[in-house]
Amino acid sequence: MFRILSVLVENNPGVLTRVASLFSRRGYNIDSLAVGRTEDPTISRMTIVVEEDDSVIGQVTKQLHKLVDVIKVDDITEREYVDRELILIKTDADAPERSEIMQIVEIFRARIVDIGQSTLTIEATGDEGKIKAITEALRPFRIRELVRTGKIAMLRGSSFTTARSGGQIKKETDR
């Protein structure tokens, strides 16, 4: 089963390496990893997707908490969340095919971000199902290149994974 971990870390050099190394040393594969600054520029959020069972995720979570730069680890898999991925797809697009590709792009509410003499580059965002669907719809047009971000996810509604206390972000172990 795929698990989605939301990990808040201090925005310091080497943090990504330490977190990724923790997974590789234990032989766990990261299916998707996205990192970016949060509303606080000193804090970054990692969204890590791994295919492991509950006991392994429990061990990984404990190990992550031991890393100095890790503020909070939250397995959001079983909670209500919103997730998105971004994909860029470059397809062959001769003149007769362009209108058909443009229709597919419109159906998926995607957009064309680059036009070459014989190619189109399409940008799409959405959940995993939408990303798979647009990829399959464009496959007959000979996908030349495809690049995809990792999943980013956030809890729905009033819930949030930021560990705030009096406006300050604190390590879970400081509570």
- Could you tell me the CATH number of the domain that includes residue 133? 3.30.70.1150
In a domain, 51, yes or no: yes
171: Cβ–Cβ under 8 A, 6 or more apart, which residues? 70, 71, 72, 163
Same-domain pairing of 59 and 91 = no
Domain extent for 120: 82-152
Q: What is the DSSP letter of 34?
A: E
Q: Which residues of the chain register pLDDT less than 50?
A: 164-167, 173-175
In percent, the amount of the chain with pLDDT more than 90 equals: 74
End residue of a domain, out of 15, 47, 79: 79
Say what the pLDDT of residue 127 is.
94
The count of domains in the chain is 2
Residue whose pair of structure tokens reads 């080497």 in the numeric block: 14
pTM: 0.82
Same-domain pairing of 107 and 57 = no
- Could you tell me the CATH number of the domain that includes residue 35? 3.30.70.260
